Amino acid sequence: MQIADKNQSAARAMDIFSLGGFSVFVWVIFRSIELEAKEVLMLASVMMLLANFVNHPHFMYSYQMFFEIWSAIKNEKDAAYKARWLTTAIAIPLSLIILLSLSVYFSLHGDFSLFQFSLGLYAVLVGWHYVKQAFGMALFDAAQRKVYWSVKSRNILLWNSYISWIAALIIGAGALGRGDFWGVKFPIFKPLLSGHWTAAAAVVAAVSAAWTLIAIWRQVAAWRNAKIAASNMPFAGIIGYLVGIYLWTVLAWLDHKFILVIPFFHSLQYLAIVSKYQKGKAKKKPRASCLPIENFRRYIQMVVVGAAVFWIIPGLLDYFNEGKINYLSGGVFVFTAAAWVFINIHHYFIDSIIWKKENPLMREYIFS
């Protein structure tokens, strides 16, 4: 009994750690130290290296999980979900290929306006994706424990996610306009650069945050009144929600050091859920392809494929165009930028298909 309790405590601690708790610890450290420019550059290089083993595989796992769905739904009667799957599998990538191909073509001829539009779209959608994943953490952890949010609390969490997303876009507009993505400048959203807009966004986000914290407090009280033990409450998911919304989105612009590590923690959070999916799959279908050694082999495949699509293929195209290796030298690397934008944006839409109750594999491997 004691061993089981210790295992459960360790699992809860790991959930809190992987769903966002570790990033809080790192944020506190970063707020207490100052790094010189060369040290920030070193940090960026370390995170870029780690991306090959965490960030990029998380994208590849989403593709694997997405394409696994079709065999489970092709004979089902849910026409709406199948239509959304097909749209995400065909229409969205084709649209992105056309947009980014034209962006690259015009950029190679000196006109970056369409590429800047593509980067603007990417910037808008990355915030949407982050808050949606944060919202998903709160619901996912609760559903796993079979402890559910009330409809009112759930709606407050969702509305706060969208409000925080818009607020983050306004607050970060100035910093975004000063940045670039593989040498391509981000667009400048001039109407949002007014201090009045920033102040208004901060006030609205603060009010929404207070509203949300009250809703969470009341929901925890309702769980307590329902005799649900504190050890079974979804605190890891709540932490994942608050961290994803605030540290990784709304307040991300306040620390140029911490913003370098946010994608790593976001991907780590995602992989924690993928791990639960794989474990559930192994329990339901105990065959050779679900063994730990096979999971490790699959992970190595994800790392290799990730390296190919993020670095090697676009890097070779940029080398033929620029005569430079993308990460090792300055320049404008439009093929690398296009590849990263495509995978990121498509991933956001893929996730909107995977992590839905209509997905029979999610019901079977995680929530059954």
Structural domain spans, the chain: 2-365
Q: What is the pLDDT of residue 192?
A: 65
CA torsion sign for 150, 24, 12, 275 is positive
Q: What is the pLDDT of residue 233?
A: 94
Please, which residues have CB within 8 angstroms of residue 249's CB and are 6 or more apart in sequence? Answer: 127, 130, 131, 134, 164, 165, 168
* The pair of three-digit structure tokens given for residue 162, joined into one six-digit string: 């969208």
* Residue matched to tokens 């999980």: 65
- Sequential DSSP letters for 89-128: IIIHHHHHHHHHHHHHHHHHTT--HHHHHHHHHHHHHHHH
Q: What is the pLDDT of residue 290?
A: 59
Q: Do the beta carbons of residue 115 and residue 183 sit within 8 Å?
A: no
Q: Do the beta carbons of residue 226 and residue 155 sit within 8 Å?
A: no
CA distance 180 to 119: 9
Q: What is the pLDDT of residue 282?
A: 78
Q: What is the pLDDT of residue 12?
A: 80
Q: Do the beta carbons of residue 202 and residue 167 sit within 8 Å?
A: yes
Of 106, 134, 113, 115, nearest to 341 (Cα)? 115
Single-letter amino acid, residue 312: I
Of 131, 115, 99, nearest to 252 (Cα)? 131
Q: What is the pLDDT of residue 357?
A: 85
Please, which residues have CB within 8 angstroms of residue 85's CB and are 6 or more apart in sequence? Answer: 69, 70, 73, 353
Q: Do the beta carbons of residue 59 and residue 129 sit within 8 Å?
A: no
Of 118, 125, 213, nearest to 169 (Cα)? 125
Single-letter amino acid, residue 315: G
Q: What is the pLDDT along the chain (368 residues), one digit of tens a residue?
A: 455 455 676 778 888 888 999 999 999 999 888 888 899 989 999 999 999 999 999 999 999 999 999 988 988 777 899 999 999 999 999 999 999 999 999 999 999 999 999 999 999 999 999 999 999 999 999 998 999 999 999 999 999 999 999 999 888 877 766 778 888 888 777 666 677 888 999 999 999 999 999 999 999 999 999 999 998 999 999 999 999 999 999 998 888 889 999 999 999 999 999 988 888 887 777 664 556 777 888 899 999 999 999 999 999 999 888 777 766 566 789 999 999 999 999 999 999 999 988 899 988 888 76
